[in-house]
Amino acid sequence: MSVHVLGVRHHGPGSARAVRAELERLRPDAILIEGPPEADPLIPLAPELEPPVALLAHVPGDAANAAFWPFAGFSPEWQAILYGTSAGVPVRFCDLPAAHSLAGRTDEEVSELRADPIGSLAAAAGYDDPERWWEDVVEHRGDTPFEVIAEAMAAVREGYEPDEREARREAHMRKTLRVALKQGYGRIAVVCGAWHVPALAGPLPPATVDTALLRGLPKVKAELTWVPWTYGRLASWSGYGAGITSPGWYHHLFTAPDRPVERWLAEAAAVLRDEGLAVSSAHVIESVRLAGSLAALRGRPLAGLSEVTEAARAVLCEGDDLAVELIQRRMVVGDRLGHVSDGTPMVPLQRDLREQQRRLKLKPEALDREIDLDLRKPLDLERSHLLHRLRLLGVGWGTPGQARGKGTFRETWTLQWRPEHDLALIEHAALGTTVRAATAQRARDLAGAPGAALADLTSLVEQCLLADLSEALPEVLAALSAKAALDTDVTHLMAALPAMVRAHRYGDVRGTSAGGLAVIVRSMLERICVGLPVAVTGLDDDAAADLLKHVDAVHAAVALLTDPPPPVETASPAPDGRSAPSDGGAPAGEGVSAEGGEAGAAPRSRWLVTLRGICDRQDLHGLIEGRLTRILLDSGELQDAGDRMSRAMSRGQTPARAAGWVEGFLAGGGLLLVHDARLLALVDDWIGGLSGDQFTDVLPLLRRTFGSFAVPERRAIGERVRSAGRVEVEGEQDVNERRAAAAVTTVLAILGKAGGFGQADGLRKTEGLGRAGG
């Protein structure tokens, strides 16, 4: 009987080639590999997998307690598995079972770092970089001197006492080795990290010693499976053995053992050409020469990654760091994503997702990929539903972005698959066997969670509509209705309303069932209208600014609630001589409910009536009063904005309050000052009348206000102020309101201003303000 211990560096291409060659030479009748023994039944699946892949061990019901053992095509352990399965040789894992390692794992053990044995050998050889030493001694050789590595590791470990965790791991490796020997295998090959070779080679300690070390270990139920891995994760992972910073480079060394430098730099040139950079064959030839010269100067047997990178930077990239970063991302790390076969153990949720990915033609990829969805197309709509459902499950495969165009039927997503997504699917496997069922149950659980905030529930309603989860929506709406009924903070209601309105609009536009949503929206808006007059009292500057954000958000949301049109009638003069509305707008206080029935004022009208009542009060913060005045002016609800501005900036007001009023009033944009000479004159006169100290006090507010205007707006305002001395403010003009009504109605219809200025009340002669409002 003979035991051959092959010490390797995890994920080392030179070690992988040497292990494969050594196994073919030895022709063992059993192979033991460092790894969790619960994965032994998964080994026969290896030939069907496409690396990089990883063994995933997790505790059912506690998916956060999990561990990965990644494998690349250039991993020595992977090559040993492939040799064994192809040659019909039994292959087993021999490390400490995952049931014990997951049960006894602590944060201290995870973060613990032992002395680096490769670093010690590199330092003894005069290298300051362990990676460079390993490449020169092992990776760039045609073979791996396993005996020499064993002797070197024995010297490094001389006098070393392993910690308890490591001692138990090595005890279990020896236990598995003894079992194999007892079963009669005459030639056994053990593939493990080079560090463990001294513990397994030579005479083994008595079995009773190892049995005592392994007695009484904590244990949990662990389940294992294969999952896809990526080179990006392999570069950042520090679990199995060690992470490597250049998996793409190692993959190249393994797959191109002849002329690796020439092939690498030629591929780098192709990558740069794909990005539109001019790289010729002469560039490639010169970069190969430079890499070889650098290696010779540094005494290296072959140019390594550092030499080819410097050559590419100097010749191919001409010193451009962005081009070098492109090579680093595409080639040094790489974008390879592994694949597991259909026969791999999966939870039903994973299988359902895989089927949907195939049906919807959404292939998981490691690199970011942007897709545009047209939701009028059934295929794209189903894709959108799937991506929104996965986001609700915590699987962030897709990240929504800013859709191109202004339509509501388009979505833009950035897709990137990460190995952790499989873990998230396993974690939520108990919620359902399909993505839709699991997401619906997840929504119900979130809705019923104690302490769920009102804003969270409104966001959940929106997510349910986006994900087309009609089966979960009634329970979520019920939870929302109950929460809204008990929440007395009007700011909470104001923060929650926009999402509810968006959800309502989504249901209307996309045809998604959202029964009862309109009732909740109308109820929330009514409570906001009742509570807002109290909420605006006694605010300081910060509180006023915060409340104003909510007011603007609610105002924008209310604009999405379409007031139902009245019966179609021909426009005719009203009894008071004014033009009657003809575009479906309803006078304040005479609208209908959002569901079309007679239920008091329509949403927009009810909201504007509330703002008008608040705006007439004398105890408002200047910022609030100014902004409400502007909102009402833009909505056609005020004809005395000039008088209000004049009062706000009169000498009876403090400069700070006046500046706040101006800031709130002009927050909607500066074009109003360009087109209304009287308002511009009022602001100009007020600023000109301030004393030096007063001007200094209000300057930050003014600078913030005018700094928010677009450059053309500021330029136009400056030109109007400069010419103010030469241009007189336009006086009043006699206007035939009856004759102008039809033209005003047409213009407002073109501008889309339902119920806009002048529609209900005709044209008023208010010192040019009507012309600015129109």
Which pLDDT band holds residue 401 (cuts at 50, 70, 90)? Answer: confident
Q: What is the pLDDT of residue 323?
A: 93
Q: What is the pLDDT of residue 192?
A: 93
pLDDT top residue among 187 and 107: 187
Question: Is the predicted pLDDT of residue 294 greater than 80, yes or no?
Answer: yes
Which pLDDT band holds residue 92 (cuts at 50, 70, 90)? Answer: very high
Mean pLDDT within 418-437? 87
Which pLDDT band holds residue 692 (cuts at 50, 70, 90)? Answer: confident
Question: Is the predicted pLDDT of residue 763 greater than 50, yes or no?
Answer: no
The structure's pTM equals 0.65
Which two three-digit tokens encode residue 42?
């998964």
What value does the mean pLDDT of the chain take? 81
Mean pLDDT within 2-11? 89
Tell me the C-alpha distance between 185 and 174, whole Å.
15
Which two three-digit tokens encode residue 128?
């300051």
- Our CA angle for 491, 494, 496, nearest 5°, is 110
Q: pLDDT > 70: what percent of the chain? A: 83
Q: What is the pLDDT of residue 561?
A: 79
Q: What is the pLDDT of residue 38?
A: 96
Question: Is the predicted pLDDT of residue 369 greater than 50, yes or no?
Answer: yes
Helices 281-297, 260-274: inter-axial angle, 10-degree rounding: 140
188: three-class secondary structure by DSSP:
strand
344: three-class secondary structure by DSSP:
coil
Question: Is the predicted pLDDT of residue 700 greater than 90, yes or no?
Answer: no
Mean pLDDT within 301-322? 92
166-200 in b/e form (b: 16+ CB < 10 A) is bbbbbbbbbbbbeebeeeebeebbbbbbbbbbbbb
Q: What is the pLDDT of residue 756?
A: 41
Q: What is the pLDDT of residue 731?
A: 47
227: nearest Cα among 112, 74, 71, 457? 71
Mean pLDDT within 413-435? 88
- What residues pair up with 187 in beta bridges, in sequence order? 2
Q: What is the pLDDT of residue 450?
A: 82
Residue 447 near residue 475 (C-beta atoms within 8 A): yes
Q: What is the pLDDT of residue 589?
A: 33
Mean pLDDT within 70-81? 94
Tell me the C-alpha distance between 469 and 507, whole Å.
12
- What residues pair up with 69 in beta bridges, in sequence order? 55
Which pLDDT band holds residue 745 (cuts at 50, 70, 90)? Answer: confident
CA contacts within 13 A on the Cβ side of 367: 9
Least confident of 312-316, 428-432, 603-607, 730-734: 730-734
Which two three-digit tokens encode residue 500?
């509810």
Least confident of 32-46, 281-295, 500-514: 500-514
Highest mean pLDDT among 281-295, 338-352, 506-520, 692-706: 281-295
pLDDT top residue among 477 and 196: 196
Q: What is the pLDDT of residue 673?
A: 77
263 to 254, 311, 330, 432, 528: CA distances (angstroms): 12, 14, 15, 49, 68
Helix (H) or strand (E) holding 576: none
pLDDT in tens, 120-169: 777 777 776 666 777 777 666 656 678 888 888 888 888 788 888 899 99
Which segments within 344-424 are labelled E, that is strand? 369-374, 398-401, 410-415
Question: Is the predicted pLDDT of residue 596 greater than 50, yes or no?
Answer: no
Tell me the C-alpha distance between 449 and 506, whole Å.
25
pLDDT top residue among 397 and 571: 397
- What residues pair up with 412 in beta bridges, in sequence order? 372, 401
Question: Is the predicted pLDDT of residue 385 greater than 90, yes or no?
Answer: yes
Exposed/middle/buried for 454, CB within 10 Å: 0-12, 13-18, 19+?
A: buried
Residue that is written with structure tokens 């400490």 in the block: 96
Give me the helices (H) in 536-676, please: 541-558, 603-615, 622-634, 641-648, 655-665, 671-675
Least confident of 38-47, 655-664, 744-753: 744-753
Q: What is the pLDDT of residue 152?
A: 84
Q: What is the pLDDT of residue 72?
A: 93
Question: Is the predicted pLDDT of residue 313 greater than 90, yes or no?
Answer: yes
CA contacts within 13 A on the Cβ side of 448: 10
Q: What is the pLDDT of residue 758?
A: 41
- Which residue type, as a one-letter code, is found at position 364? P
Residue 7 near residue 149 (C-beta atoms within 8 A): yes
Highest mean pLDDT among 307-321, 328-342, 550-564, 638-652: 307-321
- Which residue type, as a one-letter code, is found at position 684? D
pLDDT in tens, 560-584: 876 554 444 433 333 333 333 333 3
Tell me the C-alpha distance between 250 and 258, whole Å.
14
Helices 490-510, 541-558: inter-axial angle, 10-degree rounding: 20
Residue that is written with structure tokens 């249901």 in the block: 507
554 to 455, 528, 692: CA distances (angstroms): 14, 9, 39
Question: Is the predicted pLDDT of residue 732 greater than 60, yes or no?
Answer: no
CB atoms within 10 A of CB 514: 22
Residue 365 near residue 337 (C-beta atoms within 8 A): yes
Q: pLDDT > 90: what percent of the chain? A: 33
Tell me the C-alpha distance between 571 and 742, whole Å.
9
Q: Is the peptide bond before 52 cis (omega within 30 degrees of 0)?
A: yes
pLDDT top residue among 265 and 731: 265
Which pLDDT band holds residue 440 (cuts at 50, 70, 90)? Answer: very high
Q: What is the pLDDT of residue 116?
A: 62
Give me the helices (H) in 183-246, please: 197-200, 207-214, 231-236
φ and ψ at 737, to 5 degrees?
Answer: -65, -40
Least confident of 31-45, 479-493, 495-509: 495-509
Residue that is written with structure tokens 């010690």 in the block: 120
Question: Is the predicted pLDDT of residue 260 greater than 80, yes or no?
Answer: yes
CB atoms within 10 A of CB 276: 6
Q: What is the pLDDT of residue 285?
A: 96
Least confident of 296-310, 463-477, 571-585, 663-677: 571-585
Tell me the C-alpha distance between 401 and 370, whole Å.
9
pLDDT in tens, 223-245: 999 999 888 888 765 444 445 78
Q: How far is CA 195 from the centre of its chain?
A: 39
Parallel/antiparallel/unpaired status of strands 410-415 and 2-8: unpaired
Tell me the C-alpha distance between 162 and 696, whole Å.
71
Q: How far is CA 305 from the centre of its chain?
A: 32
Please compute Rg for the chain using Cα positions.
Answer: 37
Q: What is the pLDDT of residue 144?
A: 62
Exposed/middle/buried for 521, CB within 10 Å: 0-12, 13-18, 19+?
A: buried
412-431 in b/e form (b: 16+ CB < 10 A) is bbebbbbbebbbbbbbbbeb
Tell me the C-alpha distance between 361 and 596, whole Å.
42
Tell me the C-alpha distance between 352 and 125, whole Å.
54
Q: How far is CA 176 from the centre of its chain?
A: 44
Mean pLDDT within 345-356? 90
